[in-house]
Structure formats: structure tokens, C-alpha cells
Structure 1
Amino acid sequence: MAGTSTPNPTTAAAAEIVDRLLKDAFAHGDPRSPEYHRGARAALERRLMGRQVLNPYAMGNARADAFWAGVDRGNAIWVRHVEGDLTA
């Protein structure tokens, strides 16, 4: 089912999958801030490693907004991956 987590692979294997998914998702010149990328990574790490998503930026500023937008993108990347539209 799209949006569900998979059984936890080893940490190293999960980190490699996250790296590949992000590389593929941002491969076509989609310039985003470091905060946005950090949010996307956090969402994927939650899906694959069970890590909690913690926004390190103060709420109410652009950096926090970019982080949460990245989390949304990370969740969308995950759905595409689970549905088979994005391989790791």
C-alpha cells in the first residue's frame, strides 16, 4: 500500500536507498535549498529507518517552511518509489 513503511533494512542499506532515491528525484536540475533537501531526507529516513522527523529550524521562518516542504516532497518520493515509478 502506498505510503506505508517497509521492514527496516540495515542502517547502511537504508541510507544507501535514501541517497539513491534523493539523487534520482533531484537529478534533473531541481534547485532547492539545503533545508528543503534536509526535509526530504528526513521523510525518507522516517519511512526506511523509523526515525522521527524533527524540524531543527524555528517555526515561523522561511527555513522551517522549506524543511516542511521538503518533508512533503520526501513523502511524495516515497509514494512514487512504492508504486514502482522510482527505483532505488
Structure 2
Amino acid sequence: MSVYFDDGTVRLLLGDAIEQMRTLSDGSVNCIVTSPPYYGLRDYGTQGQYGLEASPAEYVERMRQVFSEARRVLADDGTLWLNLGASLHRD
């Protein structure tokens, strides 16, 4: 686990979302706030980054994997805040 910030009440993890969540116990998270990269919008220059999958279907599968793991770690009374929009992708 790569802890970016922890004040005893709030802990922020830094790294690949799936890898970081895999370090957490089932039902151990009260709140998840996320804004994943949109498909094909930006290249952040990072190997394996989200949003640069080869097809929209692969992007959706990657997001499914992320949110499957998020559901596993989210407490029964937890909340997940998602900021996800659409953009026009032009080649």
C-alpha cells in the first residue's frame, strides 16, 4: 500500500487503483471518491494508464474491474462518488 496522506481519520492512497484496493480488507472503506481518466482523452505518459486501452470495450472492462474491486472493499453503508463524463474522441 502506498499511503499518500493519513491523519488518522482520512487516508489517501497513491497508485494504480486496482493494485491499491487489493491491499485493503473486504468492507474496510467508508468512502471512495474517484474521477478515472476518460477513454482516449489524454496521455499522461504512464505505462498501462487507464483511458488509453485499445478500444472502448477494453476501457469499459478495465472500469468494471476497478469498480468490482471498489465494491469488495466498500463497507455495506459506504458511499462511492464517481465523476465520469464523456468526450468526443477524434483521431
Same fold (TM > 0.5) = no
More strand by share: 2
**Pair member with larger Rg:** 2
TM value normalised by structure 1 = 0.35
TM value normalised by structure 2 = 0.34
